[in-house]
Structure 1
Amino acid sequence: MPLSPHRRRFARIAAVLILTAALVGGAVSATAHTSKHQSLRGLKILLTNDDSMQDARPNQSDGRGLYEIRKALCAVGADVVVIAPWSVQSGRGTAVTNSGTMQVGTKELGAKYVNDCKDAPSKGLVFGLCVDIAPCSATSPGATPSDTVKFATRGGLHDLANWEGEPDLVVSGSNSGNNVANSVTDSGTVGATIAAIEDDIPAVAFSSASNAAGVFPDSNYAATAEWGARFLIGLRSEGLLKQSKFALNVNYPNIDDDKKAKKAVWASISDGMFAFHYYTRQPDGSYAVAIKLCSGLPTCEVTRPDADKVWVIDKNHITVVPINWDRTYAHSVDGKRELAKVKSFVEKKAPRP
């Protein structure tokens, strides 16, 4: 018997209610199933960089990115402790200090960042490591990024933060400027991650682009940090945040100047030089050292189609590059299975910017 209009309307409402209940129930079930993977809760992270922890320069190139990363990691539940160079150590690569005395310094955090980690077990402690026989001062040279990792994991974290054992992860950055091409070799930001994986500790480096004026705006640092936290959560959910066969070098493009970041790509270190050092003789016989973007020289030309320099600088994509400690040419790669899984994650599941 055909249903009356009233009954047909009632049937439609009932069907909608049943479907809604099923969808809500499924969503609740899915949430219950994945909730433990939606944060970095329980993860102990050592945070360092090569820009220092000072955050005092007008162009924000001396540690502002570190505090944005600290904020983002604490916001998703990580227990973060910062042990970074006391003064800027950009370009120090994997250099280490072999003798002398190191001191641990602190600074008062500005109102913008002071409460970011108040609910974390270690409260987001921030320390700077200098090489000096006296307490760290304005003229104290900083320990290198590699120094900070070695110091932290060989007693420093125990003494300063009461941590037992090694951190679960070393995060380095966010650097002021992209680390691509030959800058990867120079980079202390990347160097810190090499020190970590040499001790079998997983590590990820993050770098943020400047804007067209050569300034490092909060927007670029904040975007790198927010995406970076989601990226780490994704890796953790896939069981990929425990491997230490290789580190990951992540570069985030400029989103200032009305630009937008594009999806992450799996890239390689560019064969075209990015940073070009030059030396100018002075009247007194000394040489002034400077650095500029490489252009107009054969050594600047890029031939690799997956070059990080092209993808992040020219095309505005986020780039992810695996970095290994082993410099043996043509040596068989250890961790091929992990490499394939991380590459697949980046290409298919990495968060959108």
Structure 2
Amino acid sequence: MKILLTNDDGIHAPGLAVLEEIARAISEDVWICAPDEEQSGMGHALTLTRPVRLRKHGARRFSVTGTPTDAVTMGLRKVVDGKPDLILSGVNRGANLGDDVTYSGTVSAAIEGALAGVRSIALSQVISREGAAGPETFAAARAWGGRVLAPLLTTPLPPRTLVNVNFPPLAPENVRGIRAVRQGFHDYARGTVVEGRDPRGFTYYWFGLEAIEHTLDHGTDLEAVSEGYVAVTPLQLDLTHHASLGALAARYAP
């Protein structure tokens, strides 16, 4: 099996090293193409207004001066010898739950893979603010990654779908299991805008993150992780709200 690895935290991120461990337990035919530096929150951005450069860091290990989407594009077209059988994106440092998937470079890299017709899976390690297993740990992802991926390698998936995996912020022995769940939604939009002044006296703004209160709907990724389970969520790229098509069609009928 030929596997392409990528992420949004950058080529030197510790989560990518964990992902490589997980991938090499599946196959020795592993290729890496990731952004040069952190690209968190880039979503499905594609670099169009400047050139993208490809850098080699060793055998089958490359980085790009661009976004996670750029990395997958370059991986498929310029790096991997032949079409990969699997694309793995992550392991992201932090959650990609609920509607946050629309911001996520980790998930968007998997989206790009799915658009190319490759089985694609995004993996993220939720980080506990209380540091239940240490604020920097990927222990749950390392221990549970293989168990999560094994069924996903053979489960039939429709075209233009991908799978989003989130590991809870727990020591491996405290993880309660794996749940297949739907995408949840946060109760309100997150983020603050912090205003400051640089040394030259110019105003700047910095987008911040803050804790969000959740009303945990049953059967969602948010609920599963909060209860100590690995959340496995299939996502589709068809964003059409099919239930509204009839009403809109009637509005435009001659």
Same fold per superposition (TM over 0.5): yes
Q: Quick one: structure 1 residues 126 and 226, their matched pair in 2 at CA, closer, same or farther if it must change by over 3 Å?
A: farther
Structure number with greater Rg is 1
Distance 2:51 2:223 in 1: 42
Q: Does 1:330 align with 2:242?
A: yes
2:89 is the counterpart of 1:172:
yes
Matched residue, 1:265: 179
Structure 1 residues 273 and 149: alpha-carbon distance in aligned structure 2, compared to 1, 3 A threshold: farther
From the superposition, tell whether residues 44 and 275 of structure 1 become closer, same or farther in structure 2 (CA, over 3 Å): farther
Correspondence for 1:302 among 209, 215, 222: 215
The one-character-per-residue Cα deviations of 1:198-250 (angstroms, maximum 9, x if unpaired) are 11111001101224247221xxx2431342223333333xx326754410000
What residue in structure 2 maps to residue 53 of structure 1? 11
Aligned to 2:72: 149
Kindly indicate which of the two structures has a greater share of residues assigned to helix: 1
Backbone CA RMSD of aligned residues: 2.4
Given that 1:68 and 1:225 are in contact with CA atoms closer than 8 Å, whether structure 2 keeps it comes out as yes
Q: Distance in 2 between matches of 1:292 and 1:242?
A: 35
1:157-206, CA deviations, whole angstroms, 9 ceiling, x for partnerless residues? 2xxxxx12x11011001000111022211110000111111111110011
* AA matched with 1:292: E
- Long gaps (5+) in structure 2: 245-254
Question: TM-score, normalised on structure 2?
Answer: 0.84
Name 1:93's counterpart in structure 2: 43
Give the structure-1-normalised TM-score. 0.61
Answer yes or no: is 1:320 the counterpart of 2:219.
Answer: no
> Does the CA contact (< 8 Å) of 1:202 and 1:243 recur in 2?
no
Determine the C-alpha separation between the residues in 1 that align with 2:73 and 2:9: 17
Question: Are the aligned partners of 1:183 and 1:274 in contact in 2 as well (CA < 8 Å)?
Answer: no
| Unaligned 5+ runs, structure 1 | 1-42, 55-62, 109-122, 131-142, 158-162, 296-300, 333-353
Once residues 67 and 158 of structure 2 are traced to their aligned partners in structure 1, the CA distance between those partners, rounded to angstroms, is: 24
d(CA) in 2 for partners of 1:303 and 1:174?
24
- Would you tell me which structure has more strand in proportion to its own residues? 2
- Tell whether the 8 Å contact from 1:270 to 1:307 is kept in structure 2 after alignment: yes
**Where do 1:1-353 residues align within 5 Å?**
43-54=1-12, 63-107=13-57, 125-130=60-65, 143-157=66-80, 163-164=81-82, 166-211=83-128, 212-213=130-131, 215-217=135-137, 221-236=138-153, 239-240=154-155, 244-256=159-171, 260-273=174-187, 276-282=190-196, 284-295=202-213, 301-302=214-215, 304-312=217-225, 314-330=226-242
Q: Residues of 1 paired with 2:211 and 2:181: CA distance? A: 20
8 Å Cα contact 2:3-2:88 kept in structure 1? yes
CA distance in 1, matches of 2:168, 2:26: 23
Deviations 1:299-326 (A, max 9, x none): xx426212211220x2111101111111
SS at match of 1:102: coil
CA shift, 1:273, in A, is 4.4
